[in-house]
């Protein structure tokens, strides 16, 4: 009781995180139990590991310490009543799972704790790590059985209130309307990738920008490369520039332009990391006006 009274009331900032909501199931010799937890996180793909953070006064922690297993039942947006009950009472106070018409359970496959029906995800976990961190205990479970229901939408938690998923938010990008050939050129380079990542060099002289012509196309662009993932973009660009036999010095600083090329319904997203360049010799180079559509958007 003393520890409950001593519990600090969370500040507004602490409550401003946004999380999902799960119901953690467990059991003891006295029977099964369920509690609500927002601090639940998948922390590895292979093996699939889930960390949950449980306070010391809970029956759930005691159960899991004994049985070394727990169920993670990620709540769907229809489950606010279940979540409020599982989070508002302790198993020390009432037998939550036995309340009439609140919880519907599912038989587990690989553990003994019951699972909760109508959730977005049900994961059965075996405890592999326990660590006291601050006023909670981190319990890491290895997932031994998992299923999800993609017809259900998750319940979210923010500022002490429950929410559903809102509309999807497209990351902010500058729109560039372009012709079909240009869009197809970049889409071929993207090879199905959602975002094409380019590194380019911008060499300017008065009102002009240095461009190179792409073989077999009408297209002229600033010199650029598509660095492989994990490779230093500036070093890769330097090599490509050398191969193009361009004598350009590339500055260290860069900016990033996030654009989306559009032609009718067709789109291609591009991230352009742009380095400023200095042209060491002007011979054999072509210059294009800064007013050109695609170029103007890169400056």
Using CB under 6 A, list all residues that contact ligand FMN. Answer: 21, 33, 35-39, 53-55, 58-60, 87, 89-92, 136, 157
Distance (Å, rounded) from C-alpha 293 to C-alpha 82?
A: 56
Angle of CA points 163, 164, 167, to nearest 5°: 120
Cβ closest to ligand FMN, residue 39 vs residue 163: 39
Indicate the burial class of 40 (C-beta count within 10 angstroms; 0-12, 13-18, 19 or more): buried
Q: Minimum distance between the CB of residue 299 and ligand FMN, rounded to whole angstroms?
A: 48
Q: Minimum distance between the CB of residue 79 and ligand FMN, rounded to whole angstroms?
A: 11
Q: Minimum distance between the CB of residue 189 and ligand FMN, rounded to whole angstroms?
A: 45
Question: What phi, psi does 77 have (nearest 5°)?
Answer: -70, -10
Q: Which residues make beta-bridge pairs with 272?
A: 198, 257
Cβ closest to ligand FMN, residue 159 vs residue 291: 159
Distance (Å, rounded) from C-alpha 24 to C-alpha 11?
A: 25
Cβ closest to ligand FMN, residue 105 vs residue 212: 105
> Contact at 8 Å (CB) between 57 and 5?
no
Angle of CA points 264, 265, 266, to nearest 5°: 95
Cβ closest to ligand FMN, residue 4 vs residue 168: 4
Q: Minimum distance between the CB of residue 116 and ligand FMN, rounded to whole angstroms?
A: 14
- In what helix (H) or strand (E) does residue 62 lie, and over which residues does it extend? helix 59-67
Q: Minimum distance between the CB of residue 244 and ligand FMN, rounded to whole angstroms?
A: 55
Give the residue at shortest CB distance from ligand FMN.
Answer: 87
Cβ closest to ligand FMN, residue 35 vs residue 222: 35
Question: What phi, psi does 18 have (nearest 5°)?
Answer: -115, 135
3-state secondary structure of 236: helix
> Contact at 8 Å (CB) between 299 and 202?
yes
> Contact at 8 Å (CB) between 66 and 26?
no
Q: Minimum distance between the CB of residue 253 and ligand FMN, rounded to whole angstroms?
A: 43
Distance (Å, rounded) from C-alpha 23 to C-alpha 72?
A: 6
Provide the total of helices (H) and of strands (E) in the chain, helices listed first: 6, 21
Cβ closest to ligand FMN, residue 15 vs residue 242: 15
Q: Minimum distance between the CB of residue 78 and ligand FMN, rounded to whole angstroms?
A: 16
Cβ closest to ligand FMN, residue 114 vs residue 200: 114
Cβ closest to ligand FMN, residue 119 vs residue 222: 119
Distance (Å, rounded) from C-alpha 83 to C-alpha 101?
A: 14
Q: Minimum distance between the CB of residue 81 and ligand FMN, rounded to whole angstroms?
A: 12
């Amino acid at each position: 009781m003393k520890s409950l009274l001593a519990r600090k009331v969370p500040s507004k900032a602490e409550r401003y995180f946004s999380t999902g909501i799960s119901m953690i199931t467990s059991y003891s010799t006295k029977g099964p139990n369920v509690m609500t937890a927002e601090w639940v996180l998948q922390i590895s793909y292979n093996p699939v590991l889930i960390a949950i953070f449980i306070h010391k006064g809970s029956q759930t922690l005691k159960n899991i310490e004994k049985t070394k297993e727990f169920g993670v039942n990620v709540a769907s947006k229809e489950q606010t009543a279940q979540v409020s009950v599982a989070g508002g009472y302790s198993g020390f106070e009432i037998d939550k799972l036995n309340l009439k018409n609140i919880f519907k359970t599912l038989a587990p496959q690989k553990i003994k704790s019951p699972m909760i029906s109508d959730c977005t995800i049900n994961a059965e976990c075996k405890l592999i790590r326990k660590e006291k961190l601050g006023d909670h205990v981190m319990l890491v479970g290895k997932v031994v059985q998992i299923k999800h229901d993609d017809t259900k939408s998750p319940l979210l938690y923010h500022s002490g209130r429950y929410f559903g998923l809102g509309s999807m938010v497209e990351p902010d990008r500058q729109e560039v309307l372009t012709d079909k050939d240009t869009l197809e050129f970049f889409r071929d380079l993207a090879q199905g990738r959602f975002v094409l990542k380019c590194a380019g060099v911008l060499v300017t002289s008065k009102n002009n920008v240095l461009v190179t012509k792409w073989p077999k196309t009408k297209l002229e662009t600033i010199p650029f490369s598509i660095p492989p993932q994990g490779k230093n973009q500036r070093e890769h660009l330097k090599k490509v520039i050398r191969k193009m036999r361009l004598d350009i010095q590339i500055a260290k600083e860069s900016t990033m332009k996030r654009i989306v090329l559009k032609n009718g319904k067709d789109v291609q997203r591009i991230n352009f990391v742009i380095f400023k360049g200095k042209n060491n010799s002007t011979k054999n180079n072509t210059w294009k006006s800064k007013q050109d559509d695609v170029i103007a958007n890169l400056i």
